Structure 1
Amino acid sequence: MAFPISKRRKISEPDGGRSIYRACPETFFNGAEMKAKALLFDLDGTLLNTLEDLADSFNYSLQQSGFPTHETESYKQFVGEGALKAIERALPEGEKNPEIIQKVLSVFNHHYFQNCFKKTKPYEGILPLLEKLKSEKIRLGIITNKSQHFAEQTVLYYFKNNFDLLIGEQKSFPKKPDPKSVFYALDYFQVSKDEVYFIGDSKTDMQTAQNAGIKSIGVLWGFRTKKELIDNQANVLIEQPEKILKYIL
């Protein structure tokens, strides 16, 4: 598995240094789409159901820091933009200062490191899908706002060598929906925008695809709602992982 930061591969600036944000065409799926050569996946809520382990660790960190906890379902709206943002959303009003957030984050990181495999599992149908995609020689990458350390830990544990590229939250890349990580992946895989799809469960993922000018597939088994995906211009919605094959082969 290639983790791009450890590779230290020199990547040219996208579009010769011009603005990397651009509008997404109204539709890509018009009957003339090109076969995919690469797929980029979100992680939490798309490949892995991490909700309970995340909620347990966030609640533990809040409780240990003297703050009220939340129902597990609440974390579907809290997570998706990195742990710092999740903690900020979970803290009571008036307690969202940087010092408190860092204190809670420190407890969270320690607890999640020891407990991130207890309840997490791949969504039904994901493992057979990955096997099929690999047999079709499609390059597979993950772009997530989960920290690089935890992303590597969970991906290696659950998926071993299924993925060719993993970009998590780190200093070298801004978080989604900034498209810099997508442009890196395009260069890394040596594919065009017409040959790659971004697959995710949230508005952040759909916005990432739009900002990069690539096609998006919204999944309905994840943390966020169908309405959120539609409102953020998902090019297509699917209810089961195997349905991805209809659009990319």
Structure 2
Amino acid sequence: MTRQQADWIPDTIDIGKPSTARMYDYILGGGHNLEADRLLVERLLALQPEMRRIAIMNRAFLRRAVLYMVGNGVRQFLDLGSGIPTVGNVHEIAQQADPSCRIVYVDIEAVAVAHSQLVLEGNDRAVMLHADITEPDVVLHAQETKLLDFSKPIGLLAITIGHHVGPDRDPEGVFARYRAALAPGSYLAITHWTNDFATARSEAAEKVANEQINIFPRTRAEVLELFGDFELVEPGLVTTSQWHPDRGDDVAKDPAVDAFYAGVARKS
């Protein structure tokens, strides 16, 4: 480990254990990942070469969803399982569109928290909360979350996080608690891994991933449950590249290539 690495690696983490946040950082070209993360990603890429494209399309959906919400009056965001801030994070997207936007990031991963705090220094409209997103009462009552006004619309982002919440953590109940806390006019954006389009390659990659990190893919019906009674905006629950694609976006004709369901829904 180099001295430069030591500056951003908390003493408390096990550097031999891969992290989904750091793996995502690596696959998107970031620099805050470790050898264990890179080794697992390379194993997965050998089994499922589309994995890098899947991550890029997921990131592109995040940008479009945030801009859609800003365009519909949202000026504050709660980003669950935000991960390591690579280029194009929520505060960059939202505050470029409107500098008044406020963002609370939430993650349990120590590296994601440490690096986010560094990135956000001097930004009084964005904070990082070190917490477990499956404990919504902790998140919603944290000091950091007071940056947001829950009497006004909020953009709740659950990007690539739901499939890391196992059945024993009551994902439906967790999402319901967050939804209940939001004011009318709020939005919820979700991307979620699914096996509805599984291929032999994706199943092999999932098996390898589950040796070291837990993934709980869900069906379309199960992902829809996470939106509760929020009304999905057009085109409904589709795959990442098929949701409001920009001109020139690489829209997948085969949903299996995207692998994630994606949607945005509004609270009436």
For the superposition of Structure 1 and Structure 2, which TM-score range results when normalised by the shorter chain?
Answer: 0.3 to 0.5
Which structure carries more relative contact order (alpha carbon 8 Å, separation 6+)? Answer: 1
- TM-score, scaled to structure 1: 0.39
